[in-house]
Amino acid sequence: MMEREFPWGSDKRYNDYSAYFRKRFEGRVQKISLDAGFTCPNRDGSRGTGGCTYCNNRSFNPDYCRMEENIAAQIVKGITFFSAKYPTMRYLAYFQAYSNTYAPVEVLRRFYEEALSHPEVIGLVIATRPDCLCDEVLDLLSEYAERCYVSIELGVESFREETLLQINRGHTAQESIAAIHRISERKFDNCVHLILGLPGENDADFIEQASIISKLPVQSIKLHQLQLHRGTKMAVDYHFDPSAFNLFSVDQYADLVVRYLEHLSSEIIVQRFVSSAPSGLVVGPNWGLKNYEFVAKVEKLLMERDTWQGRLI
């Protein structure tokens, strides 16, 4: 099979984030996950209570990321963790846990400044929700974008209104679309998080999601397979009615990712395909694969089918 160059400028069959990251930064750059102790509007009662039914923040917070320590201390621990292998590495402060724009602007500024005060931190990555991005917050982040790298990671998860209600997401698909447009008008990167396999959704919904995203000003996406975690309402629901869930096998999900990519705009960068929680937190599915091993499966399938991102658009 002849090699070819795809619209994103490489022979890889999808628009890979690592290639973008290497072009964007000189030298090695690593995100350091931080917990600033924020909450969410669907936890504190302003939009709802209980949080999203699938959410357990312990599933993605690394050991060095603990809110009982201040931001500066978490950054030092994170740098210590990574710098042993790569002494010249630089870092992005990744405010990851819960909604990291959900506070008064003066509070946000204090946290962001504390992170940027470390000389090896060269930018901010802010995870948040579509309903936590008022103009004042966007203005603040635009101010930072004038002096350092800034990226917003937006938890959208689904564009199906019934699904958003069922998982107690607390915002609508239209709010997600509006937030994506507002972010795209600013001078920073954006990334949209999406979950494949939520209860009530089917194959047609997943492919439609790719089509919807392709028509929006989205720079990059993170895909997550549905993975049930202990301590969540969704795990309890699964215990009482497993038939309401369709948890993917590795091969089923790899097939879905390939078909999703075929309907995804070639201009959208793919940051990742899967999420992996500590095995002790996982109810299912637990594939026992590293992320790079799953990526290899997707790349092999793309090659075998002689297909690529955006082929069916």
All structural domains of the chain, each given as residue ranges with its CATH number in brackets, are 17-304 (3.80.30.30)
Q: Which two tokens stand for residue 201?
A: 């959704």
Exposed/middle/buried for residue 146 (C-beta within 10 Å: 0-12, 13-18, 19+): exposed
Decide: 223 and 274 in contact? Cβ < 8 Å: yes
Look at residue 301 and tell me whether its pLDDT is greater than 60.
yes
Q: What H or E segment, with its residue span, contains residue 164?
A: helix 161-166
Decide: 164 and 126 in contact? Cβ < 8 Å: no
Q: DSSP alpha helices (H): ranges in 28-134?
A: 71-83, 105-116
Look at residue 149 and tell me whether its pLDDT is greater than 80.
yes
Task: Write b or e for each residue in 84-101: b if 16 or more Cβ atoms lie within 10 A of its Cβ, otherwise e.
Answer: eeeeeebbbbbbbbbbbb
Q: Tokens 């699964």 appear where?
A: 238
pLDDT digit string, tens, across residues 56-98: 866 555 555 555 689 999 999 999 999 988 889 999 999 998 8
Which pLDDT does position 47 carry in this prediction?
83
Nearest partner of 156 among 194, 188, 124, judged by Cα: 194
pLDDT digit string, tens, across residues 10-46: 999 999 999 999 999 988 999 999 999 999 988 888 8
Rounded-to-integer distance, Cα 259 and Cα 311, Å: 10
pLDDT digit string, tens, across residues 151-183: 999 999 999 999 999 999 999 999 999 999 999
pTM, 2 dp: 0.93
| Count of alpha carbons within 13 angstroms of residue 150, beta-carbon side | 21
Q: What H or E segment, with its residue span, contains residue 210?
A: helix 203-214
Q: In the chain, pLDDT over 90 holds for what percent of residues? A: 81
Which pLDDT does position 211 carry in this prediction?
97
Q: Tokens 């497993």 appear where?
A: 242
Q: Which two tokens stand for residue 165?
A: 């209600």
Which pLDDT does position 15 carry in this prediction?
98
Which pLDDT does position 53 carry in this prediction?
87
pLDDT digit string, tens, across residues 183-225: 999 999 999 999 999 999 999 999 999 999 999 999 999 999 9
Q: Tokens 């819960």 appear where?
A: 98
Which pLDDT does position 147 carry in this prediction?
95
pLDDT digit string, tens, across residues 227-253: 999 999 999 999 999 999 989 999 999
